[in-house]
Amino acid sequence: MTVGAGAGTAKSDRGGWGPAGVLTVAAYVGAQILADIGSLKIATVAGFSIDGGTFIYPFTFTLRDMVHKLLGRNAARTLIVAAAGINLVMALFFAFLSKLPPDPTWPLQQAFADVLNPVWRIVLASIAAEVVSELLDTELYHIWVNRITRRYQWARVLVSNSVSVPVDSLIFVWIAFGGVLPAAVVWSIFWANVLVKGLTTLVSLPGIYLVKGS
């Protein structure tokens, strides 16, 4: 009985659905939502044009790697698609709220609609970039772990992110802003995305060691 209980505990830890697994999945979905909302803000930082979602979205790549480590490749794939669906539902919900007749005493109806009524081109660009880049990240992570080495966990995160980050940025900026903003501005947003996401990847690397798994 003692052996069976121990085996059950080990299986539960590998499955990841303890507090660490729940928190990692919640953090991934939360970061995806915040990034999509933040992308509605275009700022200028150090001479670069940059969408606000860039400051939080890069963490999703390492969080995805953490989910992969905890729950496996299929769970990571499912989470990516589920997060995309949640972001789409969020956009539809904001669109619905924006169309509701406002209470005449509420002064922020137009402000709400101006900010949160979805810009569908940005929504679709964000979802397309997320799905393609995160699924690519999943496959690169899987190949590294299963065909190269399970050692140097920081390297699996660095390698997968170094490919998926530029792909994500390229897809997003050109679908979202190509033909709308001058090409120079679009490329400025792209390079700013890659730079900030790359720096965030380096900051978030230790996160892979916070969860158990292989």
- pLDDT, position 9: 39
User: Residue 103 gets which letter from DSSP?
Assistant: P
- pLDDT, position 16: 54
CATH 1.20.1410 fits 14-210, yes or no: no
User: What is the residue extent of each domain of the chain?
Assistant: 14-210
Q: Give the pLDDT mean for 78-89.
A: 94
Q: What tens digit of pLDDT does each residue of 13-38 get?
A: 445 578 888 999 999 999 999 988 88
- CA dihedral for 77, 140, 120, 112, sign (positive or negative): positive
Give the confidence band of 1 by pLDDT, cuts at 50, 70, 90.
very low
What's the token pair of residue 157? 């995160």
